[in-house]
Structure 1
């Protein structure tokens, strides 16, 4: 017997459900109308399934509004207007307020979280998109500024007590926390230093040590060890210190003042080496604490698709449009991290029952 299976979809045909709401007048003159289902918000409206699909196309597939309307018309047979498509996220986002609060609280309570920020265009001007995330959670925050004022308004780091993984932006340093630096950034800077100073061995040496320490951390986890064995860790960190000292000797501090006044300007190599020396513990935290990742890639992955949206649209035309898109996007990002069906979760949110995180906060 030879079996051949053809998996296909039935022809998609719109289904119209009419709700008839009876009215009765009491003897006292009061007119009472039967309550309508939550999705029946007007005399004629679109249901939660097509609304969820529109939100999915806009925020996860990054379709422009006009193309999303065209796709919905051709696939579903419903000639939705671009005006209706553009209104979907604005009606969906307010119902996600409990989700945003729950995610922010979960990240504040997490033992480790990733933080990042990037510039975005809103109303034709530069704004700052801040993100906080874990392996299971994502939340975004839009603000006019990048520094401490915006981070405080975000409301996570000022109550956070875990390990903050970031790229070394100085405003994060103003919080009395345990910090861990992104070594992907360090590797890129070390590669640039190696290309700028091909006759010096310290950039390649430091890069190799970081890679070896990362490999040792992975091996220790695979073996269910709580830490890298000391006889492996100590020689590697010793090589790290040696390469940093060598680099500092080759790039002494510039003692001459800036031509326009102020502190002397240091070379890029010197600034990198001083950072690696001053924040040695934060740079190598991944090697001393196996719960800490080598990079801040989690935050960068979570924020990357917002940059894709900007490339497609060129920016948001209103602050409200930006915040609603980011709210829905954080919901979808978190949903997908939990392996849930995105369209089902969006439909639940549209019908007033958004998914809320219940998994214990982890990295």
Structure 2
């Protein structure tokens, strides 16, 4: 009996010890489980970063210059446009371009056979007939500057008065560069984005001009000063325009971050630099806003703080973001339907089926998409919708006013030369240099839009420069 009680006591003690061990193990396992849960959440967050599509210029606002090499290769084969199904290249009925013969050649050369190819007899005394005319186009070499001495003559009249002839307005005392050289330097630096050192080499190699980089800088500054009249005329054209596009991009000015702003329409381009990306920059040139203009831009808040006649946001920016969302989550179709809707709206403006009922249908479908529950999707989707919601009234203005474009591509094209200039030259070294580029680029780009020769436009400004100096 005593042994039985002792055995029971031992069993109970062992059970108690086992229970305590299990409780301790349970506490340890719970702690390990919580640690694993936290670690899992952190790893998911890190993995989310790598699983997201890589941002590039086709699915975000990242410029092509900041893309990876892989993204650059993909960009060359991907477009925001939907394929038309047509073969690449010139289409049926497309008018080709070819060199046309000039009716008034500068030189005529005749090529006569001297001996008969059959018998070897001389053909020099035999008259011939032209069987074919070919033309070649070339430039004369060497191209060398034309140096002109301007001699002022004085004559004394019989009355005793001494009369001196006036020099032409473009000829100043001493030795100076002429009108064409001023225009050429401005054109090569601004329109062709050639940096100072290479520009000096071009002038020496092609024209035999021994010019310093300081002289290039002085010429550009003089052209800037005399170009201000035309520059301000362009600004006035923008202020009176019913539709204006605007954009901005960063630049380096003596190692500091500045911003280049562009306001443009179909016939004019006005570009200016400023240290701010906010409304202060806009107010520096358009203090009263553009009250008579409908402004086409991205969603940058500074534009919506301006006084304007209305806004149209750029659909190209939205299409890029929707492409990113579609790749981010291929199982959902919300971004796919929104993408199709925006593309359809652009097509509607260009098609023969354009109608008021079609516009109403587009707007109604857009409203339903914006009201859909997308809380189960990634936060990127909600972020996109929340950012778009305040601008819903600015989305389809282009359908109601056919003079308004659905995108801001024209402004981006107008400001792209700055990025090319920055890429080859690095940065602007002074405010005068940045201002000179803006003034001359505005004049050149405006001339091209108006189907005018930009070089001849620069020559007209250079005439004022020379006249001003003398």
Provide the TM-score with structure 2 as the length reference. 0.66
Cα pair 1:108 1:157 within 8 Å, conserved: no
Tell me the SS of whatever aligns to 1:162. Answer: strand
Residue aligned with 1:62, SS: coil
Structure 2: runs of 5 or more not aligned: 1-130
Q: What is the CA RMSD across the aligned residues, in angstroms?
A: 2.5
Shift in Å at residue 33 of structure 1?
A: 6.1
Q: What displacement does 1:340 show?
A: 1.2
SS in 2 for 1:325: helix
Three-state SS of the structure 2 residue aligned to 1:135 is: coil
Partner Cα distance (2:428, 2:342) in 1: 40
* Partner of residue 270, structure 1: 382
Q: Aligned partners of 2:375, 2:168: CA distance in 1, in Å?
A: 72
- Give CA deviations for 1:310-336 in whole Å, capped at 9, x if unaligned: 111111111111111111111111111
Give per-residue Cα distances to partners, 1:9-32, cap 9 Å, x unaligned: 223232211112346899xxx998
**Contact 1:137 1:334 survives alignment (8 Å):** yes
| 2:266 counterpart SS class | coil
Instruction: Tell me whether 1:326 sits opposite 2:438 in the alignment.
Output: yes
Gaps of 5+ in 1: 254-265, 355-363
| Higher RCO (CA < 8 A, seq sep 6+) | 1
Alignment partner of 2:351: what SS? helix
- Identify which of 240, 244, 251 aligns with 2:370: 244
State the partner residue of 1:192. 324
**Cα distance change on mapping 1:42 and 1:286 into 2, 3 Å:** same
Write the distance in 1 (CA, Å) between the matches of 2:288 and 2:431: 23
| DSSP-derived class of the 1:161 partner | strand
Does the CA contact (< 8 Å) of 2:290 and 2:307 recur in 1? no
Of 198, 204, 223, which aligns to 1:73? 204
In structure 1, distance between residues paired with 2:163 and 2:436: 36
- 2:288 and 2:307 in contact (8 A); partners too: no
Show the counterpart of 1:216: 348
Matching residue within 170, 174, 180 for 1:43: 174
| Residues 1:206 and 2:206 are matched in the alignment | no
- TM-score, normalised relative to structure 1: 0.85
Mapped partners of 1:68, 1:16: distance in 2:
21
* Partner secondary structure for residue 404 of structure 2: coil
Q: In 1, distance between residues paired with 2:375 and 2:426?
A: 42
Of 291, 298, 310, the residue aligned with 2:422 is 310
Structure 1 32/126 Cα, relative in aligned 2: closer, same or farther at 3 Å? farther
SS of 1:116 mapped into structure 2: strand
Residue correspondence of structure 1 range 222-237 to structure 2 within 5 A: 228-237=354-363
How many residue pairs get aligned? The number is: 331
8 Å contact kept, 1:112–1:134 = yes
What is the rounded CA distance, in whole Å, between the counterparts of 1:64 and 1:80 in structure 2? 14
Measured after TM superposition, the shift of residue 45 of structure 1 is 1.5
Question: Does structure 1 retain, via aligned residues, the 8 Å contact 2:258–2:275?
Answer: yes
Task: Return the alpha-carbon distance in structure 1 between the equivalents of residues 276 and 359 of structure 2.
Answer: 41
2:393 is paired with a residue whose SS is helix
